[in-house]
Structure 1
Amino acid sequence: MPATTSVKLNTGAIMPTVGLGTWKSKPGEVEIAVEFALKNGYRHIDTAAGYQNEKEVGQGLKASGVPREEIFVTTKLDNPDHRNVAQALETSLSKLDTPYIDLWLMHWPAPMTRDGKADKAYDWLDTWKDMEDIHLAHPQKLRAIGVSNFSVEYLERLTKSARVTPAVNQIELHPSCPQDDVVEYCQSKGITLTAYSPLGSDNSPLLKNTVVNSIAQKYKVQPANILISLQANKPGHTVLPKSVTNHRILNNFTIVDLTDEEISDLHKIDETHHFRACHPAWTGWGSIGFPDCK
């Protein structure tokens, strides 16, 4: 099917398919990137408390001159804030300098202490309950809630007791990390997928892959466009290319309609080369239900 320009969430809200990712985007750069992206057509900006750049993202939102109601803003609850959900939300709202957040994600199902250790005494399911409470009580301030880096095992545990089905699960998605089981589960529950690291990683080998480059040559675009377009061509998917470089921000916004055969060929890359750019083991909570890389 052709690429989408937006996805309708299970809340009824419209989420633009392509957003600007800001992971690893430093203060001093990210506000300029956000401003430039919004002035050049982007309407979806993704950040997180853990990126330590929410204030600068907020400055970029304001500097763009684009009305706030035209922008879809996602941010995330940081791992050390699982016990402090309400205050964490207020801090993000203040730093972003916005009266509401379109989508707030639990960044990882991995409560941590301030000194970076796994907080094994706390259950992330209680965190979700606190997020639900705020969303249900103040839907105009917190318009949707969701999760990030959730495997099927964790999604199943969540959906058994959730009062609010997550609007989104943001996970690493690219031809070398397709996560078909997570995608299938989310689609069965009406949960939108957001792909981070759609190129694989910085200096990703996917950018030199012969299949990716062959399709890029056909459409006269860059290999990055094909990898981003792969996600935009899937129903119920949104995608977050990240850059602070103007020409790349512009380039990444170009999406092409891929054929079913091309999508199939891109997915076959996983049969010979599988890797994960961001493995959950760093949290101290193990694999969180995700298989180790081949």
Structure 2
Amino acid sequence: MTIPALPLAGSSVSMPLLGFGTWQLRGDSAYQAVRDALEAGYRHLDTATMYGNEAEVGRALRDSGVPRDEVFVTTKLPPERAGDERATIDASLRDLGLDAIDLWLIHWPPSRGRSVKTWREFVKARDEGLTRAIGVSNYGPDEIDQLSDETGERPAVNQIRFGPALYDAGLVAAHRERGVVLEGYSPFKTTNLHDPALTGIASAHGVDPARVVLRWHIQHEIVVIPKSATPERIARNADLDGFELTPDEMTTIDALGRR
């Protein structure tokens, strides 16, 4: 599997366009799924404090034998932990068994106008070497601008719910104009995989519609983090070599966002 990566602003790291999501995976199921993902070739793992599986993700990474510097690891601060940023990242690092994470995100905008104050703590954590890059999740462009305008530091990434049915060229452009990498979660839940547009394109390439959706993200240079607990599906979702969507096919899939 050959997956390209995007450089992240304000850091020396690049983020693989395909990652493995771990939301709703807990305990032994989380551990085994991450082991299966690393075996299948994923080199980008996405977790969060609120997922309750950082210890399993970290243990799976260690047990996999894959060198730490080959895997990009993301975790996230719950909004209710605004004000306890340092204690939260220290706990994440301890549970993951890492000296530093590659990307730390504010999971949702904190209430009562705490975003800027929290963001300043994120900048401090990055400057202290606890995380290599910092970003946000579930933010709008205006909220990103507020962080940048008030601190002089823009988020490297914004992780949002995304997929073909939610495609918005204006939103994608807004992130590109700001130098913010767009990352999509729940790519399959947001899109009807039985849509004739997707099944027809999938048939033409001899793949399943899920892989068409993932390939569409990658060709748009939008990071995508599919999740599964099934070894066969985990491996299949990583098998994205050997086919490329044509410009017309990309346009057809883009149009799903205007229905």
**What interval of TM-score do these two structures reach, taking the shorter chain for normalisation?**
over 0.9
Q: How does 1:109-128 map to 2 (within 5 A)?
A: 109-111=109-111, 120=112, 122-128=113-119
Structure 1 residues not aligned, in runs of 5+? 112-119, 273-294
Other-structure match for 2:255: 268
Other-structure match for 2:44: 44
Other-structure match for 1:167: 156
Tell whether 2:196 aligns with 1:247. no
Per-residue Cα deviation, 1:19-56 (whole angstroms, up to 9, x for no partner): 10011112220111111111221110000001111111
Tell whether 2:204 aligns with 1:218. yes
Matching residue within 122, 125, 133 for 1:134: 125
Taking the aligned partners of 1:191 and 1:80, their CA distance within structure 2 comes to 24
Other-structure match for 1:282: none
Letter in 2 for 1:240: I
CA-CA distance at 1:4 after TM superposition: 5.4
Matching residue within 239, 244, 253 for 1:257: 244
CA-CA distance at 1:251 after TM superposition: 0.6
Other-structure match for 1:158: 147
Taking the aligned partners of 2:62 and 2:181, their CA distance within structure 1 comes to 28
Structure 2 residues not aligned, in runs of 5+? none
Q: How many residues align?
A: 255
Looking at secondary structure, tell me which structure has more helix per residue: 2
Q: Contact conserved, 2:100 with 2:131, CA < 8 A, in 1?
A: yes
Q: Contact conserved, 1:4 with 1:233, CA < 8 A, in 2?
A: no
Other-structure match for 2:82: 82
SS in 2 for 1:93: helix
Taking the aligned partners of 1:63 and 1:51, their CA distance within structure 2 comes to 20
Q: Contact conserved, 1:173 with 1:179, CA < 8 A, in 2?
A: no
Q: Contact conserved, 2:40 with 2:238, CA < 8 A, in 1?
A: no
Matching residue within 231, 251, 261 for 2:217: 231
> TM-score under structure 1 normalisation?
0.83
Other-structure match for 2:167: 178
Taking the aligned partners of 1:14 and 1:164, their CA distance within structure 2 comes to 18
Q: How does 1:99-110 map to 2 (within 5 A)?
A: 99-110=99-110
Per-residue Cα deviation, 1:130-184 (whole angstroms, up to 9, x for no partner): 1111212x13x21110011111221121221233221111111111112433321
Q: Contact conserved, 1:54 with 1:96, CA < 8 A, in 2?
A: yes
CA-CA distance at 1:227 after TM superposition: 0.7
> TM-score under structure 2 normalisation?
0.94
Taking the aligned partners of 1:267 and 1:135, their CA distance within structure 2 comes to 36
What value does the CA root-mean-square deviation take over the aligned residues?
1.5
Letter in 1 for 2:79: N
